[in-house]
């Protein structure tokens, strides 16, 4: 999937415009287009600006022979981001999907040095006011007003700004009504304001939730119910994998009770990912950030091993779409591979370095899961429309001995140019594109079969974008049409018949616009009869 189209944006405004047309250079091997096809004759279109030192490759203990991971169809989903503007209602505490901003400085984010380990301001100086935008509860999208209670400890003035109604103050408690707003975004924002907070007794333990919700309930009930049909939950958009920070350490990770679970440089707390998988009764799929050090990877594996329900499997990969040069990570991997002398060709160096580091990470996880290797599914990624990528990574030394599954993203798109075409004509073209996508899978099937590995998807679904005039409306009308229900039923049925293994869709919830309609629903709580993609998916759920 092209990063510029579906990458998680860091602000509401960039979320709306993310999706500039991306053409990803892949050295002399070819150029990846928006659909993921490759033009092998295309020249390289980028220049490396320095070659960083490759990530050290430690030597964990040899991998024990794993028990075969069970194969069989299962429907998975990529969980939606937790940002307050994502249209998902994830945490019951509405103070979870943003960070603190300085209202006296253009609502700029507070530096980490002014926050404690839980993401709360250490103090608020005189004549200053800090704000935190809350995540709207899903009921407001559906025409309901919601009663909210906020509680905290410590000293300082706490107030509510925005569209709130019926505000009532008490001792370390505020109640208000969150008014209904039209979908898909609600348009009834509310935020916490804090001022006059002393350093010796700062505001802490801040919690805003539905008045009727138990204080210890971590996740919104609608989130749990919406994810129960799926057998696999992929946490890519809860991780820091796509943002690719230069340094990832265990000491600086997000804590499970931290107020900013939407910190893209650190990701959602790993404990919360495991908790959601256990709560829903699904197998989690983790993407390890590429720059995580060995200590982080080891501790991550141990935490999952010790806290995941014993009847659950865990899927794990490192990075995301290493072949996709629309992501900065692909350039880093290539630079590391060239610096290490793995290949003189840029893309070849990328694939070899990716394979090398996958083996490194999978050996660490296998050592941790040595007592129950059949619970671990070690994943290496490839490109759906270019089976050559999968062939290359699987052929690299030690890869076949240290992975269990080859993962692709078989998106389907229009079969040709649909400029100026009617909705009916575009639907017909999309149906033809779906048929071609299923034909393209065979090359990766052959590779997986050759090495005795499972073929699964890390993402999948339609891939319609339209940046021309009126494109947003065209993306919306085809994704909201009844034909999309038929297309998704055909897509899932074909995968089940042809491959019969895990199909992980992208994604659970998301807005629809020119840059794509990646969510199988547009907002939390959206009625199923308004979500043709989700309606079809639910027929294949567990």
Query: How does pLDDT run across 36-63, given as a tens digit for each residue?
Result: 333 332 223 222 223 333 444 444 444 4
Regarding whether 260 and 185 lie in a shared domain, the answer is: no
**Number of domains observed in the structure of the chain:** 2
Read off the pTM.
0.89
> Same domain, yes or no, for 464 and 333?
yes
In this structure, are 363 and 234 located in the same domain?
yes
Do the domain assignments include residue 6?
A: no
More confident residue, 13 or 331: 331
Answer yes or no: do 412 and 455 share one domain.
yes
> Is 305 inside any structural domain?
yes
CB 226 within 8 A of CB 152: no
At residue 41, the pLDDT reads: 28
| 186 pLDDT tier (thresholds 50, 70, 90) | low
Asked which of 183, 210, 237 is the last residue of a domain, the reply is: 210
Q: 408 and 349 in one domain?
A: yes
Q: Are residues 203 and 338 in the same domain?
A: no
The full length of the chain comes to 542
Parallel, antiparallel or unpaired: strands 38-39 and 30-32: antiparallel
Q: Which of 210, 238, 256 is the last residue of a domain?
A: 210
The pair phi, psi for residue 141, each rounded to 5°, is -70, -20
Pick from 521, 493, 426, 409: which is nearest to 464 by CA?
Answer: 426
Q: Are residues 133 and 279 in the same domain?
A: no
Which pLDDT score is estimated for 181? 87
435: preceding bond cis by omega (within 30 degrees) = no
Residue 452 in any domain: the answer is: yes
111: CATH? 2.60.120
Residue 17 covered by a domain: no
What CATH number does residue 449 fall under? 3.20.20.80
Q: How far is CA 500 from CA 65, 227, 230, 454, 455, in A?
A: 24, 21, 15, 10, 9
Helix or strand holding residue 316 (H, E): strand 314-318
Between the CA of residue 455 and those of 315, 317, 380, 499, what are the distances in Å?
A: 13, 14, 10, 7
Find the DSSP H helices in 176-249.
Answer: 221-227
CA of 358: how far to CAs of 63, 96, 318, in Å?
Answer: 13, 32, 6
Domain assignment present for 163 = yes
The answer on 167 and 312 residing in a single domain is: no
The tens digit of pLDDT for each residue in 147-170 reads: 999 999 999 999 999 999 999 999
Q: What is the mean pLDDT of residues 69-92?
A: 92
pLDDT 10s digits, 431-486: 999 999 999 999 999 999 999 999 999 999 999 999 999 999 999 999 999 999 99
Instruction: Tell me: do 295 and 371 sit in the same domain.
Output: yes
7 lies in a domain? Answer: no
Show Cβ contacts of residue 250 under 8 Å, excluding neighbours closer than 6 positions. Answer: 295, 296, 299, 300
Average pLDDT of every residue of the chain: 88
Q: Indicate whether 78 and 104 sit together in one domain.
A: no
Question: What's the domain range around 373?
Answer: 74-88+220-539
The more confident residue out of 65 and 284 is 284
Residues 305 and 419 in one domain: yes
Q: Is the pLDDT of residue 1 over 90?
A: no
Verify that 446 and 518 share a domain, yes or no: yes
What average pLDDT does the segment 506-512 reach?
A: 97
Query: Is residue 342 within 8 Å of residue 366, measured between CB atoms?
Result: no
CA dihedral 134, 139, 141, 144 (to 10 degrees): -110
Whole-angstrom distance, CA of residue 236 vs CA of residue 287: 6
- Rounded-to-integer distance, Cα 63 and Cα 39, Å: 38
Of 24 and 210, more confident: 210
Phi, psi of 173 (to 5 degrees): -150, 140
- pLDDT of 334-348, one tens digit each? 999 999 999 999 999
């Amino acid at each position: 999937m092209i990063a510029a189209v579906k990458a998680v944006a860091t602000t509401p405004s960039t979320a709306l415009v993310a999706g500039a047309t991306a053409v990803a250079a892949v050295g002399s091997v070819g150029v990846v287009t928006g659909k993921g096809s490759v033009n092998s004759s295309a020249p390289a279109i980028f220049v490396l600006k320095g070659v960083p030192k490759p990530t050290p490759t430690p030597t964990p203990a040899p991998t024990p022979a794993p028990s075969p991971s069970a194969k069989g169809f299962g429907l998975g989903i990529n969980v939606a981001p937790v940002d307050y503007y994502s249209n998902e209602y994830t945490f019951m505490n509405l103070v979870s999907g943003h960070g603190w901003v300085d209202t006296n400085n253009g609502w700029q984010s507070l530096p980490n040095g002014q926050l404690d380990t839980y993401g709360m301001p250490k103090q608020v100086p005189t004549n200053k006011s800090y704000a935190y935008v809350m995540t709207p509860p899903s009921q407001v999208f559906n025409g309901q007003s919601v009663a909210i209670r906020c509680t905290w400890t410590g000293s300082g003035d706490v107030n509510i700004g925005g569209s709130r109604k019926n505000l009532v103050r008490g001792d370390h408690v505020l109640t208000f009504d969150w008014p209904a707003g039209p979908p898909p975004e609600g348009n009834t924002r509310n935020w916490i304001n804090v001022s006059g907070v002393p350093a010796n007794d700062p505001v802490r333990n801040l919690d805003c939730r539905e008045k009727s919700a138990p204080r210890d309930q971590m996740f919104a009930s609608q989130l749990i119910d919406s994810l129960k049909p799926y057998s696999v939950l992929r946490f890519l958009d809860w991780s820091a994998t796509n943002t690719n920070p230069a340094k990832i350490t265990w000491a600086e990770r997000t804590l499970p009770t931290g107020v900013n679970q939407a910190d893209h440089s650190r990701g959602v707390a790993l404990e919360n990912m495991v908790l959601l998988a256990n709560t829903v009764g699904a197998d989690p799929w983790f993407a390890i950030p590429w720059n995580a050090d060995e200590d982080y990877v080891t501790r991550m594996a141990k935490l999952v091993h010790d806290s995941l329900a014993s009847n659950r499997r865990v899927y794990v990969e490192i990075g995301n779409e290493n072949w996709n040069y629309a992501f900065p990570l692909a350039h880093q991997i290539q630079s590391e591979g060239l610096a290490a002398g793995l290949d003189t060709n840029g893309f070849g160096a990328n694939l070899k370095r990716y394979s090398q580091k996958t083996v490194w990470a999978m050996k660490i996880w296998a050592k941790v899961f040595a007592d129950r290797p059949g619970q671990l599914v070690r994943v290496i990624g490839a490109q759906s429309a270019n089976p050559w990528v999968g062939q290359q990574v699987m052929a690299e030394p030690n890869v076949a001995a240290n992975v269990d599954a080859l993962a692709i993203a078989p998106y389907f798109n229009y079969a040709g140019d649909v400029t100026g075409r009617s909705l009916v004509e575009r639907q017909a073209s999309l149906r033809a594109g779906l048929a071609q996508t299923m034909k393209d899978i065979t090359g990766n099937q052959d590779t997986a079969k050759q090495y005795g590995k499972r073929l699964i998807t890390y993402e999948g679904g339609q891939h319609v974008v339209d940046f021309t005039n009126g494109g947003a409306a065209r993306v919306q009308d085809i994704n909201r049409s009844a034909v999309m229900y038929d297309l998704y039923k055909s897509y899932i049925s074909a995968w089940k018949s042809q491959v019969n293994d895990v199909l992980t869709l992208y994604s659970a919830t998301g807005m629809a616009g020119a840059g794509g309609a990646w969510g199988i629903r547009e907002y939390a709580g959206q009625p199923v009869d308004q979500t043709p993609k989700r309606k079809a998916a639910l027929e294949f759920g567990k």
